[in-house]
Amino acid sequence: MASSEENEMYSKQWEGCMEIAVQTARTAGQVIREAFKHEKEVSTKSSPVDLVTETDRLVEDLIISSLREKYPSHRFIGEESSAAGEKCLLTDSPTWIIDPIDGTCNFIHSFPMVAVSIGFAVNKELEFGVIYHCLDENLYTARKGHGAFCNGIQLQVSKETDMSKALILTEIGAKRDPATLKIFSGNMERLLKAQVHGIRVIGSATLALCQVASGAADAYYQFGLHCWDIAAAAVIIREAGGNVIDTSGGPLDLMSRRIVAAGTVEMAHYIAREIQTITYERDDHNAN
């Protein structure tokens, strides 16, 4: 077990890593902002609605090459490299978990909810997260034990426990078969019957989760997102005083492709109890 001195040493080391992550996210955001103005070359991955552009691949290469140059012994999990067949494996090694463009469909349609997300884990524990909203230049950052911030202003989650006063965010996911759509609409119906103020879908899991961290939304739930959608945002929400759990009500499983996040424990567990599971293949299904 590490001593307090060792923990402090590592904490300072990860602080330096986070500073590099912020610089890298800003650089990636500049590339995305420029590409946003132009026509995009679009292709599909796992389904007709699972989209990717050349900019996604370009930005991921930029981020990973920049970080690998500084940290050659670290591991990397990236959305596009995983889609290309690289194993999505979280080990005890320092690991960067990267979504080069979260909100690719938004990016393609010039809908301005688009972000770069960089999470960092050591010993399978999330240490810090950086999410950069490329179009409005909001920078969300958090390091374990040091609070969460947007452009240097400390974030605080909502303390709402009453579902009838809640604004809830969610996303649809890539599956669009009739059985999945029935469960998805049924989950929304159950929450609407609780008389929530509203349910919103904004097309970017990371930015939706940042709305929970900032207190603008009270909760978020989704099936079908990935570890690169969750990693950075989970740290930001926790450091803003919020709760991030599995949809079963248990601890968050980064590779499970499902999440409930809320400002309060009560709201997180209420949603977890109410929603029905939509099954997706785990991110680490090909790890062995």
**Which active-site residues does the annotation give?**
79, 99, 101-102, 104, 229
- 3-class DSSP state of 205: helix
Beta strands per DSSP E along 55-200: 75-78, 95-102, 115-122, 125-133, 138-143, 148-150, 153-154, 167-170, 198-200
- Rounded CA-CA distance 187/287 in Å is 31
- Rounded CA-CA distance 229/102 in Å is 7
DSSP 8-state secondary structure symbol assigned to residue 251: B
CA-closest candidate to residue 210, choices 228, 225, 232, 191:
232
Cβ atoms of 122 and 227 within 8 Å: the answer is no
CA dist 161 → 2, 189, 201, 229, 243 (Å) = 38, 19, 21, 25, 12
CA-closest candidate to residue 43, choices 55, 32, 52, 35:
52
